[in-house]
Amino acid sequence: MSSIFIGFLGIGLALALISIRVPIGLSLAMVAIGGIATLVNVDVAYSMLGHTAYDTVASWELSAIPMFLLMGGFAFHSGLTTSLFDAARLWLSWLPGGLAVSTNFACAGFAAASGSSLATTVTMGRIALPEMKRYGYDDGLACGVVASAGTLGSLIPPSVIMILIGIFSEVSILTLFVAAVIPGILTALVFASVVIVRVLLNPNLAPSISVDANWSQRFKALSSTWPLPALVLSVIGALYAGIVTPTQAGAFGAALTLVLAVVRRQMTWSKFKAAVVETLTATAAIFFIVIGAVLLAKFMTFSGLPDYISEIMASSGVNPLVVIAIVIGIYLVLGMFLDPMGVLFITLPVLIPVFREVQLDMVLMGVLIVKLIEIGLMTPPVGLNVFAVKGLVPDVPLKVIYKGVAWFLIADLLLIVVMVIFPDITLALPRMLGV
């Protein structure tokens, strides 16, 4: 067997293992070790396993991940995010589908402190779904907006997935963060438009409600949300000003969140402990996957598969737009069956050299990949955000939730096409700020 064939075989085997629910990190590591042992020898494979595990976990760049997770944990457990929905409800309830629109923008606000799509979905779903149900909102619309807007946790910085893409592609994490700002805001606006248009076409989806609140109450509710935007602006501002590096920004954000929570008397020992334990659990899971991904990347290098595909692309003169179309197809198909992390780490070792060979902008591709991973969180049969919402409303059939999500899914796909046609949507802000 040629090394190229072994490389293709390894990718197929990894996909098969993940599809039958073998843990992602274990799937990637087993395939990688087996592949390296076949291509080189068993001693090299075992040696690489030991060195890679230590070198990966000891990586200074990866320390940003637990810190940003801790920042989100402190924000959630201390209640710094609970006022977001209330403020949005008071200000936006007059719109068609006002509660759903409010949920959408509250998700966008929480995403800026969370870095996780699932955390955003579950947190805002707990608050918003009972409210929408109480006012007679259609189950599909209510569940669909929570599952869809929850995906903003992966896009709006800080984003754990974006940090991982930056590390693996050797692209500035700050540049990726800045590049994702406009697409993140645009996605939230498009999702809000989907709600408004659907309710205008079918008012039965969301009965109009009248919120008895004067301007004083509205501004008071708005003022109560100040800790979260202040926190996000402080972290992004410190990054841009060079006060902290992207690696240090997570620690800075976590410390600032803890100080805000303590000053506002919203932090107790039990809440602190819960945030830390959740962070440790999530970090261990992510790091285990990253170790497997690094091993898979080494296996791909030994096999020569990435160079082989890059050379084919270069010699055939493939248009970069064709490459983007192929990448979109790959992520849409894999996202239907696999966990987002699994999709990400199986594809990156192969695709990054291809992007460089056809001279695609790595920042643009990084943001597009995050958008495509968002779609994977919504698509059947394995839409993790959909299952998270189902866990919050067991009485609503999965079919109804997927129907509600479909409208946002179509909007997201159209938005990706627009981002490809007009790359400045993603690249203008980093260029303007010189990052």
Task: Report the pLDDT value the prediction gives residue 349, as an integer from 0 to 100.
Answer: 85
Q: Which residues contact 119 (CB under 8 A, 6 or more apart)?
A: 72, 76, 153
Task: Report the pLDDT value the prediction gives residue 404, as an integer from 0 to 100.
Answer: 92
Task: Report the pLDDT value the prediction gives residue 364, as an integer from 0 to 100.
Answer: 94
pLDDT in tens, 142-161: 999 999 998 888 888 888 88
Task: Calculate the alpha carbon distances from 223 to 83, 84, 124, 226, 246 in Å.
Answer: 9, 10, 19, 6, 29
Task: Report the pLDDT value the prediction gives residue 176, as an integer from 0 to 100.
Answer: 92
Give, as one character, the DSSP assignment of residue 187: H
Q: Count each helix (H run) and each strand (E run) in the chain, helices first.
A: 22, 0
Q: Which residues contact 79 (CB under 8 A, 6 or more apart)?
A: 266
Band of the pLDDT at 370, cuts 50, 70, 90? very high
Report percent pLDDT > 70 for the chain: 96
**Average pLDDT taken over every residue of the chain:** 85
Mean pLDDT (whole number) for 35-43: 89
Report percent pLDDT > 90 for the chain: 23
Task: Report the pLDDT value the prediction gives residue 210, as an integer from 0 to 100.
Answer: 66
Task: Report the pLDDT value the prediction gives residue 138, as an integer from 0 to 100.
Answer: 92
For residues 72-96, b (16+ Cβ closer than 10 Å) or e, as one string? bbbbbbbebbbbbbbbbbbbbbebb
Q: How many CB atoms lie within 10 A of CB 42?
A: 12
pLDDT in tens, 189-221: 999 999 999 999 999 998 877 666 666 777 776
pLDDT in tens, 281-336: 888 888 888 888 888 888 888 888 887 877 777 676 778 888 899 889 888 888 88
> Nearest to residue 374, comparing CAs of 349, 409, 323?
409
Task: Report the pLDDT value the prediction gives residue 211, as an integer from 0 to 100.
Answer: 65
More confident residue, 424 or 153: 424
53 alpha-carbon distance from chain centroid: 25
Taking 70 as the threshold, does the pLDDT of residue 269 lie above it? yes
Task: Report the pLDDT value the prediction gives residue 160, as an integer from 0 to 100.
Answer: 83
Task: Report the pLDDT value the prediction gives residue 212, as an integer from 0 to 100.
Answer: 65
Stretch among 40-54, 62-76, 128-142, 217-231 having the lowest mean pLDDT:
217-231
Mean pLDDT (whole number) for 88-99: 78
Task: Report the pLDDT value the prediction gives residue 192, as an integer from 0 to 100.
Answer: 94
Task: Report the pLDDT value the prediction gives residue 403, as an integer from 0 to 100.
Answer: 92
Taking 80 as the threshold, does the pLDDT of residue 225 lie above it? no
**What is the DSSP secondary-structure string of 280-316?**
HHHHHHHHHHHHHHHHHHHHHHHHTHHHHHHHHHHHH
Task: Report the pLDDT value the prediction gives residue 51, as an integer from 0 to 100.
Answer: 85
The pTM (predicted TM-score) of the whole model is: 0.84
Compute the distance between CA of residue 65 and CA of residue 274 in angstroms, rounded to an integer.
17
Band of the pLDDT at 90, cuts 50, 70, 90? confident
Compute the distance between CA of residue 420 and CA of residue 365 in angstroms, rounded to an integer.
9
Taking 90 as the threshold, does the pLDDT of residue 409 lie above it? yes
Task: Calculate the alpha carbon distances from 426 to 242, 337, 423 in Å.
Answer: 22, 28, 6
Compute the distance between CA of residue 348 and CA of residue 357 in angstroms, rounded to an integer.
14
